[in-house]
Amino acid sequence: MECEHVGFEYQRRPIFQDLSFTVEQGSWSSIVGPSGIGKTTLLYLLAGFLKPTRGQILESGSPIVGPGVSRGVVLQDLALFPWLNVLGNVSFGLDMTNMPRDQKIARAMANLAMVGLADHAHDRIDQLSGGMRQRVALARTLAIGPRILLLDEAFSALDANTRSILSIELRSIHERQHLTTILITHSIDEALAVSDRVIAINGHPAEIRGDLTVPRGEDRALLQSCHDTVLSWIA
Amino acid sequence: MRPTTLRHHRRWHWGYASVPIVLLGWLVATRGVPSFVFPGPALVWRTAVQNLETATFYLNVEASLIRLALGFGMGSLLGVIIGVTQGRFEWADEAMSPFISFLQSVPPITWIPLFIILMGIGDLPIVSVVTLATIFPVAIAVNHAMRSIPKTQVWMAWALGAKNFRMLRQFYLPAILPSLASGLRVGFGIAWRTLVASEMIGGNNGIGFFIQTAGQVGNTGAVIWGIFVIGGLSLTFDALLLRRLERWHQRPSVAQSDASDTA
C-alpha cells in the first residue's frame, strides 16, 4: 500500500499536505502521533471513506477510489450494528456475497471461534463488554477475508489485561493470515508491542517525523531506546 | 422484576375499574336529556346489536378498511421512498424539504373538495387523500432516522461490501426500523382520522358515511356507536399491527435464524 504525496483539507484547514510512505505486504506498521493530529482521518483515507484532496493512495498499484472488501477496517467506535446480534454482525459482510447460507454461517462461526466468542453468537451487542465488542468488530472484518487490515485505536478502550491478550491474538492472526496490517494509535508502547515498523506523524499539517523498524525480541533496553526515539518525534 | 410486575397489575386493575366509572358517568350525564340529543349507554347498545345483525354495517366497515389499506399502504411506501431518498442524497433533501414542510402543514382533509372535482365521488379521492395524509409523517420520520445513522456505521457497511439494493435492504431499512415504526404509528393515526372525515364529506359508504347519514336523520345512537367502532378498530390495529411492528426491529437476521435452527 502506498501513499503518494497525499494531502487532505477539512473545512479549508490542511490536515496533511504531502504525506508519502509505503507499507510492505505482510508487514505490521503502526502510525503513531498525538491526539487530534489527524491519525483517524489518515485511516479513513486509507480505507477509502474519504478522498485525498491531492496525491493518491495505491493498493497493489491501483488507486483507491472508495471502500473495498480487500481492506478490512476496525474503527475506534467499532460501528457495530445494534439491530443484529453477534452472529448477525459477523455474517453481515458475508450476506453481501452470493455464498450459500450454510457456508456463511460456518465461516462466521469460525471467525467468532477464532476471537473466542463462539459461545456468544446469539448474544445482543449491548450484552457484551467493551473487549468482547472489540472482538466482534475484528471477527466481522476478518470474516470477509481482507488482504489489508486497518485498525484505528484497536485496543484503546480496553483494560490493560484485555489489551495485552488481544494484541497477542491479533499479532498471531496477522501472521497466520499473512495480512498487511496498519494500526493507528496514540500509544507508543502499543505500537512497539505488535508492529514491525512505527511511523510517527506530528505537526499542523501533519507530516512524517520519523520511521523506525522495531527490533523483535525481549531486549528491554533496546525497546526503551525505540520508545524514547518515537517519543522525541511526536512530543 | 417484582416491582415492575406489581405496577403492571395495578395499571390493569385501574384500566378495568375505569370502564364502569365511565359508564356510570355517562348514565348520570344523560339523565333527563332526550335520547335523540344525547343517548345513554342502553340505546347505543341496542343500536349496536341491531347494526351488527345487518349486512350494511359490515359492508361499511369493509369499504373503510379497504380504503385504509390502500391509502395507508401506498402512503407508507411513498413516504419510505421519499424519506430514504432525502436521507441518502443531500440534493434530494434540499429539493424536497420546502414542499414537504409546506404540504405536511396543510390538513389532508382540505384536499378532498379538489380531489372530488378531479376524480368524482367514490373510492379514488378518499384513497388519494388518505395516501397524502400518510406520506408526510412517514417521510419525515424516515428522513430523520436516515440522518441519525452514525456515519461510521454507513462506512462500515460499505467496507463490508454492502451496496445498492442490499445496502438498502440489509443496512438502511433495519437501521431506520424503530423510527419507521413510530412514523407509521403517527401516519396511521392521521390516515385513519382523514379517512373517516373524507367519508363524511365525499363518501357513498364507509364508517364515516355511516356516521354522517345517521347524524342527518338524528340517529344519535348510531353516531355514538360509529364512534365506538372507529375507536375500537383503531385500538385493534395499534395492538395487533403497529406495536408489533415497533418490536420487529429486534428480530434476528436470516443468517441468525438459520444458525438458531441448526444449533
Point out which residues pair with B58 in neighbouring strands: none
Task: Say yes or no: A229 and A154 in one domain.
Answer: yes
Task: Say yes or no: A62 and A120 in one domain.
Answer: no
Which regions of chain A are under pLDDT 50? none
Domain edge (last residue) among A127, A145, A163: A145
- CATH code for position A207: 3.40.50.300
C-alpha cell at B119: 376524480
Task: Say yes or no: A98 and A207 in one domain.
Answer: no
Q: Over 70: is that where the pLDDT of B10 sits?
A: no
For domain B41-250, give the CATH number: 1.10.3720.10
Q: Is residue A103 part of a domain?
A: yes
Q: Is residue A115 part of a domain?
A: yes
> Chain A within 8 Å of B152 (Cβ-Cβ)?
yes
> Chain A within 8 Å of B248 (Cβ-Cβ)?
no
Q: Over 60: is that where the pLDDT of B205 sits?
A: yes
Q: Measured between alpha carbons, how far is residue A51 from residues A31, A147, B87 in Å?
A: 19, 21, 22
Task: Say yes or no: A204 and A230 in one domain.
Answer: yes
Task: Say yes or no: A182 and A215 in one domain.
Answer: yes
**pLDDT for A118-131, tens place per residue?**
999 999 999 998 88
Q: Over 80: is that where the pLDDT of B11 sits?
A: no
Task: Say yes or no: A173 and A186 in one domain.
Answer: yes
Strands laid side by side in the A2-10 sheet? A13-22, A2-10, A54-59, A62-63
Asked if B256 and A84 come within 8 Å (Cβ–Cβ), the reply is: yes
Q: Is residue A121 part of a domain?
A: yes
Q: Which residue of A has its CA nearest to B163?
A: A96
Q: Is residue A191 part of a domain?
A: yes
- Collapsing DSSP states into helix, strand and coil, what is residue A48? coil
C-alpha cell at A217: 525480541
pLDDT at site A91: 95
Domain edge (last residue) among A94, A123, A145: A145
Q: Is residue A62 part of a domain?
A: yes
Query: What are the φ/ψ torsions at residue A136 (nearest 5 degrees)?
Result: -60, -45
**What domain range is A195 assigned to?**
2-70+148-234
Asked if B160 and A87 come within 8 Å (Cβ–Cβ), the reply is: no
Q: What DSSP element (H or E) covers A96? A: none
Q: Best mutation site among A45, A64, A87, A134 for testing chain B: the one with the most B CBs within 10 Å?
A: A87
pLDDT at site B6: 53
> Chain A within 8 Å of B48 (Cβ-Cβ)?
no
Q: Which residue of A has its CA nearest to B253?
A: A88
> Chain A within 8 Å of B175 (Cβ-Cβ)?
yes
> Chain A within 8 Å of B172 (Cβ-Cβ)?
no
Q: Is residue A75 part of a domain?
A: no
Q: Report the percentage of chain B scoring pLDDT > 70.
A: 88
This prediction's pTM: 0.81
Give the gap in angstroms from C-alpha B139 to the nearest C-alpha of chain A. 21
Q: Best mutation site among A45, A74, A89, A95 for testing chain B: the one with the most B CBs within 10 Å?
A: A95
Would you kindly state where each structural domain of chain B is located, as residue ranges?
41-250
Q: Which residue of A has its CA nearest to B178?
A: A83
Task: Say yes or no: A155 and A56 in one domain.
Answer: yes
Domain edge (last residue) among A99, A118, A145: A145
Name every chain A residue with its beta carbon within 8 A of the beta carbon of B170: 92, 95-96
Task: Say yes or no: A153 and A189 in one domain.
Answer: yes
Task: Say yes or no: A19 and A119 in one domain.
Answer: no
Task: Say yes or no: A58 and A96 in one domain.
Answer: no
Task: Say yes or no: A160 and A222 in one domain.
Answer: yes
Asked if A83 and B250 come within 8 Å (Cβ–Cβ), the reply is: yes
ipTM of the complex: 0.91
More reliable by pLDDT, B259 or B108: B108
Q: Which residue of A has its CA nearest to B177?
A: A83
Q: Over 50: is that where the pLDDT of B262 sits?
A: no
Domain count, chain A: 2
- Which DSSP letter does residue A120 get? G
Residue of A145, A185, A179, A170 whose CA lies nearest to A42: A185
Task: Say yes or no: A47 and A158 in one domain.
Answer: yes
